[in-house]
């Protein structure tokens, strides 16, 4: 089961960094302003929010296996659509299934791992997402360097997504079998850190059939929920803005050529990927709040490094890698700590709303920076990230006071 979930997260990461790495070329081919990347990103995020908010109900009704397989299939179809159109407005329409494919599976799988596996598994799971996110820009860079154009970059990823969809469909009997396992079965590999037996998204002693959706209003009424939601908003805003605009920042601010910038932008995701692999080992010694604070310190260090005028633009490149390292433990450790803060019976609904708030960050903040870049200057990129980081730190410390 865990191996299948890892494969699913690789598939989630593959398309996430494509738009940012391809946009300097896409914007010229589509004959649209550079800020319009935010429009596509916004549509994807809007419909990811919709599916995240519905994830609790969808998982209860259909099961995580079917939700995962259908979601990856939707993403594959959307990527194939991206590869065959050169019209910006058509791309906006195709972005709808693109977003729907991401939200529900993201919330369901994250909550499952948060409840039933130790923190190291959560970090390594998101490391697999980073593997996909790191490979994506390299594939796009290859397509551009071979003169095939950005459509072939999307086409290659679509083919990989189809292959992963087949794997997930073939695994559906395994999901069905796991979903039927009653409370009481436990092994060293499947037990959570507090010793509870593996149960798919249920509170202790509560079956799937007995669970009821909590709803957004119910989540907001919980003490400390607002703080963790704002935290997710800020984190996802930092990650998505850094990833989406890294290539454009290098081209427009640092004068790096487009093909090199498309490849170098992937180093941000390499930092996240390697950082999460290492975080899995560090979580064996340090608790989730310590890991979150460590990540925030590294993000701050990476932003400062971007201001250092090193030769060959090394300050920008090294800074992006360090920011990626800092991002590595924050997302998985916040999710993993959610059942401990709020209880397993509420965690699926809370994680779903957390994901929605995170994607609201993706929906609003990268497009907002695109407007700033077009009408002011793209050199404000690191300052923008810094403001979001400060708010994230403040919310985490308040959450610790309320629920720690």
Give CA–CA dist 92/369, Å, rounded: 19
Query: How large is the angle between the packed helices 119-145 and 266-282, nearest 10 degrees?
Result: 160
Give the chain's largest Cα–Cα span. Answer: 61
Residues with Cβ < 8 Å from 215, sequence gap 6 or more?
349
Look at residue 204 in the predicted model and tell me its pLDDT.
41
Q: How many domains does the chain have?
A: 1
Of 10, 12, 17, the C-alpha closest to 154 is 17
Instruction: Write out the chain's pLDDT in tens, 404 residues.
Output: 778 778 777 877 888 778 878 888 888 888 888 778 878 888 887 888 888 888 777 777 777 778 878 888 888 899 999 888 888 899 999 999 988 887 767 777 787 778 777 888 888 888 887 778 778 888 888 888 888 888 898 899 999 888 888 888 888 887 666 555 433 443 343 333 333 333 333 444 444 445 566 778 888 888 888 999 999 899 999 998 998 888 888 888 777 777 778 778 878 878 888 898 899 899 989 999 999 999 999 999 999 998 888 776 788 889 999 999 999 999 999 998 888 888 877 777 888 888 888 878 877 898 899 899 888 988 999 999 999 999 999 999 999 988 86
Report residue 393 as tokens. 């730190």
Look at residue 206 in the predicted model and tell me its pLDDT.
46
Phi and psi at residue 82, to the nearest 5°: -60, -35
Look at residue 289 in the predicted model and tell me its pLDDT.
92
Half-sphere exposure for 16 (CA within 13 Å, toward CB): 33
Give CA–CA dist 87/67, Å, rounded: 30
Of 387, 356, 357, the C-alpha closest to 369 is 387
Give CA–CA dist 344/249, Å, rounded: 42
In a domain, residue 199? The reply is no
In a domain, residue 297? The reply is yes
Of 324, 125, 332, the C-alpha closest to 238 is 324
CA 14 to chain centre: 11
Q: Which domain holds residue 37?
A: 2-180+214-403
Task: Quickly tell me which residue has 């906006």 as its tokens.
Answer: 92
Q: Decide: 315 and 309 in contact? Cβ < 8 Å.
A: yes
Average pLDDT, the chain: 81
Question: Alpha helix locations (H) across 306-343?
Answer: 314-342
Of 215, 187, 212, 4, the C-alpha closest to 112 is 4
Instruction: Give the DSSP letter of residue 86.
Output: -
In a domain, residue 133? The reply is yes
In a domain, residue 105? The reply is yes
| CATH number, position 358 | 1.20.1250.20
Q: Decide: 104 and 55 in contact? Cβ < 8 Å.
A: yes
In a domain, residue 207? The reply is no
Look at residue 184 in the predicted model and tell me its pLDDT.
40
In a domain, residue 131? The reply is yes
Residues with Cβ < 8 Å from 17, sequence gap 6 or more?
133, 134, 136, 137, 243, 265, 266, 269
**Between the CA of residue 151 and those of 45, 142, 225, 372, what are the distances in Å?**
21, 12, 41, 28
Give CA–CA dist 236/40, Å, rounded: 16
In a domain, residue 274? The reply is yes
pLDDT tens per residue across span 307-338: 888 776 788 889 999 999 999 999 999 998 88
Q: Please list the helix, strand and coil fractions of the chain in percent, rounded to the nearest 5, in that order.
A: 80, 0, 20
In a domain, residue 221? The reply is yes
Phi and psi at residue 224, to the nearest 5°: 95, -10
pLDDT tens per residue across span 192-247: 333 333 333 344 444 444 556 677 888 888 888 899 999 989 999 999 899 888 88
Q: Is the Cα dihedral 147, 148, 149, 150 positive or negative?
A: negative
């Amino acid at each position: 089961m865990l191996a299948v979930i890892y494969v699913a997260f690789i598939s989630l990461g593959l398309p996430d960094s494509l738009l940012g790495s391809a946009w300097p070329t896409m914007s010229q081919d589509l004959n649209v302003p550079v800020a319009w990347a935010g429009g596509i990103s916004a549509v994807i995020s809007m419909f990811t929010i919709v599916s995240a908010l519905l994830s609790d109900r969808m998982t209860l009704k259909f099961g995580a296996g079917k939700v995962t397989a259908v979601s990856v299939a939707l993403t594959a179809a959307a990527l194939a659509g991206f590869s065959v159109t050169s019209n910006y407005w058509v791309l906006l329409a195709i972005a709808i299934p693109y977003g729907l494919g991401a939200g529900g599976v993201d919330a369901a799988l994250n909550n499952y791992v948060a409840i039933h596996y130790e923190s190291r598994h959560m970090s390594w799971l998101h490391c697999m997402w980073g593997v996909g996110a790191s490979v994506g820009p390299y594939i796009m860079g290859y397509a551009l360097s071979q003169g095939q154009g950005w459509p072939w970059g999307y086409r290659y990823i679509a083919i990989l997504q189809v292959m992963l969809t087949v794997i997930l469909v073939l695994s559906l009997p395994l999901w069905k079998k796991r979903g039927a396992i009653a409370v009481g079965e436990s092994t060293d590999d499947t037990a959570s850190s507090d010793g509870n037996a593996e149960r798919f998204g249920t509170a202790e002693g509560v079956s799937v059939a007995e669970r009821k959706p909590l709803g957004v209003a119910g989540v907001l009424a919980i003490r400390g929920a607002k703080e963790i939601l704002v935290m997710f908003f800020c984190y996802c805003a930092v990650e998505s803005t850094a990833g989406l605009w890294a290539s454009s920042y290098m081209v427009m601010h640092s004068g790096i050529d487009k093909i090199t910038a498309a490849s170098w932008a992937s180093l941000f995701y390499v930092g996240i990927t390697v950082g999460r692999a290492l975080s899995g080992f560090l979580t064996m010694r340090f608790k989730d709040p310590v890991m979150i604070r460590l990540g925030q310190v590294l993000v701050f260090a990476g932003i400062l490094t971007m201001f250092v005028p090193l030769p060959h633009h090394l300050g920008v490149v090294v800074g992006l890698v360090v920011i990626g390292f800092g991002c590595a433990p924050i997302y998985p450790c916040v999710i993993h700590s959610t059942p401990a803060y709020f209880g397993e019976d509420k965690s699926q609904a809370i994680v779903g709303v957390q994901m929605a708030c995170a994607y609201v960050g993706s929906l609003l903040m990268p497009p907002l920076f695109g407007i700033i870049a077009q009408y002011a200057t793209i050199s404000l990129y690191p300052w923008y990230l810094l403001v979001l980081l400060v708010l994230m730190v403040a919310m985490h410390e308040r959450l610790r006071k309320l629920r720690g």
